[in-house]
């Protein structure tokens, strides 16, 4: 340990990158500098400029502690307690999913397909960290209701609402999907990132970062990954204003199943599936 403590920042990054590679971490270089940046309070550029400097014993001990957590495959977002999404800083804990680029893609589709001037009230269904709700509020200056079945997730949402100064627009509601919503409550826009991964995949086929650390409640969509999606399909049209829009993130091979599921309700004028930049099914869009 004594020898390691005398390493320069550059040598420390090389050492940590090798340690993470040996643990099977894919983006070991980025993760190394993110952890060290956090410990030292320096940007990536500042780290490079200080490459030949050594760090003090306290900082080294903290860095080693964080590095050990990452070696055990705990995601960087949970270690640091934050994740950037839509160029905004979000508080992240183990009670919520880590916001992903796939969800940013869905929001890109939302804003490209709706008339922003006609959106008066939005619903973020299965809100998790509140990332979608807060982005909707920032982009639309519209009222947003953020709903989740997990009280722990809603506590994170409420912290993010406060941190991003959107209290005027976003309110939270504890509800198992639509159960606690007023029957007369309708929205011009509903957006959802529900649990859609097959139980078998959650238990056996995901990276350790996901299967061991992210909340299964927010991941597990049942045997076919469709349990929550089917429940949403049964009710969502009843909560949409005339000509309202519904957008939902889904699994990369669920496009046909989701389109069929929503089409067979006979409640929608439009049911369409969009592929992401990798050509995989990613977003369902429906209008009433």
pLDDT by residue (tens digit) across 92-147?
999 999 999 999 999 999 999 999 988 999 999 999 999 999 999 999 999 999 99
User: What is the per-residue pLDDT across 35-53, written as a single tens digit (0 to 9) for each?
Assistant: 999 999 988 889 888 889 9
Where along the chain do the CATH 1.10.8 domains lie? Answer: 2-72
Six token digits for residue 93: 């804990």
d(CA 179, CA 182): 8
Where along the chain do the CATH 3.40.50.150 domains lie? Answer: 94-287
Whole-number pLDDT of residue 3: 44
pTM comes to 0.91
Residue with tokens 């429940």: 231
Six token digits for residue 284: 């369902």
Instruction: Give how far Cα 274 sits from Cα of 123, 142, 144, 232, 279, Å.
Output: 21, 25, 24, 19, 9
Residues of the chain where predicted confidence (pLDDT) is lower than 70 = 1-5
Residue 281 burial (CB count, 10 A)? 19
* Nearest Cα to Cα of residue 106 among 191, 36, 229: 191
Question: What's the topology of domain 2-72?
Answer: Helicase, Ruva Protein; domain 3 (1.10.8)
The stretches of 141-254 forming alpha helices (DSSP H) are 151-163, 199-204, 208-211, 227-235
Whole-number pLDDT of residue 34: 95
Q: Kindly tell me the burial class for residue 264, based on how many C-beta atoms sit within 10 Å of its own C-beta (0-12, 13-18, 19 or more).
A: exposed
d(CA 11, CA 221): 44
Residue with tokens 């299967």: 211
d(CA 90, CA 158): 11
Whole-number pLDDT of residue 7: 81
Whole-number pLDDT of residue 5: 53
d(CA 111, CA 283): 13
Superfamily of domain 94-287: Vaccinia Virus protein VP39 (3.40.50.150)
Whole-number pLDDT of residue 51: 87
């Amino acid at each position: 340990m004594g020898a390691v403590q005398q390493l320069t920042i550059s040598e420390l990054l090389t050492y940590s990158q090798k340690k993470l590679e040996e643990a099977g971490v894919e983006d070991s270089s980025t993760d190394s500098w993110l952890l060290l940046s956090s410990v030292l309070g320096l940007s990536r550029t500042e780290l490079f400029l200080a490459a030949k400097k050594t760090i003090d014993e306290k900082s080294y001990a903290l860095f080693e502690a964080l590095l050990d957590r990452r070696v055990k495959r705990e995601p960087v977002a949970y270690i640091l307690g934050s994740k950037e999404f839509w160029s905004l800083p979000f508080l992240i804990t183990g009670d919520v999913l880590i916001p992903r680029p796939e969800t940013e893609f869905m929001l890109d589709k939302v804003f490209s397909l709706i008339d922003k001037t006609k959106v008066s009230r939005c619903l973020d269904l299965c809100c998790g960290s509140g990332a979608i709700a807060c982005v909707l509020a920032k982009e639309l200056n519209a009222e947003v209701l953020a709903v989740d079945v997990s009280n722990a997730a809603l506590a994170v949402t409420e912290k993010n609402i406060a941190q991003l100064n959107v209290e005027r627009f976003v309110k939270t509601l504890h509800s198992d999907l639509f159960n606690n919503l007023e029957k007369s409550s309708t929205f011009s826009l509903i957006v959802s990132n529900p649990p859609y991964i097959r139980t078998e995949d959650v238990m056996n086929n995901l990276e350790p970062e996901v299967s061991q650390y992210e909340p299964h409640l927010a991941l597990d969509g049942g045997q076919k990954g469709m349990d929550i999606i089917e429940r949403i399909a049964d009710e969502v049209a009843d909560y949409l204003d005339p000509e309202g829009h519904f957008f939902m993130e889904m699994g990369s091979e669920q496009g046909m199943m989701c389109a069929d599921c929503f089409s067979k309700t006979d409640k929608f004028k439009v049911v369409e599936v969009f592929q992401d930049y990798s050509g995989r099914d990613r977003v369902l869009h429906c209008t009433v």
